[in-house]
Amino acid sequence: MATQANSVPHPTLVKGIHNRWHPEIPPFATVKPGEVFKVECIDWTGAQIGNNDSSDDIRDVDLTKIHNLSGPIAVEGAEPGDCLVVDILDVTPFEKMPWGFTGIFELENGGGLFAREFKSRAAKAIWDFKGVYATSRHIPGVRFAGVSHPGLIGTAPSAELLATWNEREGGLIAEHADAMPPVAYAPNPVGAYVGQDNLDPEVRKRITENGARTVPGREHGGNCDIKNLSRGSRCYFPVFVPGANLSVGDLHFSQGDLAFCGAIEMAGIITFSTSIIKGGVEKFALKQPIFMPSPIDPLYSSKLIFEGISVDYHGDGKQYNMDATVAYKQAALNAIAYLMKIGYTREQAYLLLSAAPIESHVGAVVDSPNACVTLALPTGIFEHDILPKPEGLTKHDFGQCALRSDGIV
């Protein structure tokens, strides 16, 4: 019989928001190993993107403010050198916000996988959630089950590790000072935020001036966008500071193996439980996190697989030596060209491949000069037949995704 005495909800830990990595950001809350708790997360932009039919908000997004992370959350007993075990028990959108977005960002403001090739201009798709499924008025004809997960999760760096990050990334920036999009993002006090009112002003100053940007993944985890870190996953993180100071954000309803220009970004709730393995960094040679994937990913057995090699045949035809990034781009561009034959615009295809549960694998990195990478597109997500036929492909009119108010693409 359900009574108040035996129906105690798991606690929800909220309000601890920050957008920089720094060891001096104090934990917003502390949990005991084994305790189940929930964390509320706003979307990674801090609610800058709206559910509408214009991409002006993508064009004008302020990226100095990202990513908005919930935490830090200290785990009682965790010490440097330990391994923090994090069980992801559930990831759900807010009941009052059953939607998310995928965006193509401007070449000069965010970029993306094909920012230079496409000279990217802002575009957007809004996705509506119905249970586990997502559909979009901006990309008609597709419906798929989401693999909801945190795009960004990690432990706090030590002072020594933070200094290493800033030094090595600063050197890379100096080598490519005029790169567009930038090759890395240096510490920047503009837009920096630590949502704890009682923080000492001098500590806050150090955090905002020296805190590492949250844009890339690093040794502690961070923004790795791994779609398999969904409900049921178990993650093993190295601990660098007392308490580990776990932070999470950038929740995704769905994403493929590689995010081109974002996933289906959402706000929502993630449920955790943690434990500690003493001395785990040494026991497991834990230079970066390791994880066990979810046992309940949606199954799409039929796939159309596109191959790419390390030749830029969509560009200037240049031969590269064993370059898996070039090979992946070619596989993705092959898929985009194919989807355009079906009737999707380049922008719609680009957004779809960022949002859908595509799979990518390295086929070969041994046969010089061509690495081989594949991109697998599930056929079951389409409401129409997309398979090759002797008579060719049937072209449909799917309209266009949300564009800038000036119409520039």
Domain extents in the chain: 4-292, 303-381
Spatial distance between the Cα atoms of 218 and 169, rounded to a whole number of angstroms: 11
Kind plus residue range of the DSSP H or E element containing 165: helix 159-175
- Just give the CATH number of 303-381: 3.10.28
Percent of the chain at pLDDT above 70?
Answer: 98
pLDDT value at residue 112: 87
pLDDT beyond 90 at 48? yes
β partners of residue 41: 268
Work out the pLDDT band at 314, boundaries 50, 70, 90: very high
Distances (CA, A) of 356 to 99, 111, 133, 372: 15, 20, 11, 22
Report the pLDDT averaged over residues 360-367. Answer: 94
Torsion angle defined by CA atoms of residues 157, 162, 165 and 170, in that order, rounded to the nearest 10 degrees = 150
pLDDT beyond 70 at 6? no
pLDDT beyond 70 at 300? yes
Work out the pLDDT band at 2, boundaries 50, 70, 90: low
pLDDT beyond 70 at 149? yes
Output 218 or 147, whichever has higher pLDDT: 218
Spatial distance between the Cα atoms of 204 and 199, rounded to a whole number of angstroms: 6
pLDDT value at residue 368: 96
Report the pLDDT averaged over residues 60-84. Answer: 97
The answer to whether 291 and 300 have CB atoms below 8 angstroms apart is no
The answer to whether 39 and 73 have CB atoms below 8 angstroms apart is yes
pLDDT value at residue 181: 86
Fold of 4-292: Jelly Rolls (2.60.120)
**Residue 10 DSSP one-character state:** P
> Tokens 């920012």 belong to which residue?
115
pLDDT beyond 80 at 397? yes
Range with the lowest mean pLDDT among 7-11, 76-80, 242-246, 261-265?
7-11
pLDDT beyond 70 at 231? yes
Work out the mean pLDDT of the chain and round it to a whole number.
95
Output 296 or 369, whichever has higher pLDDT: 369
β partners of residue 104: 123
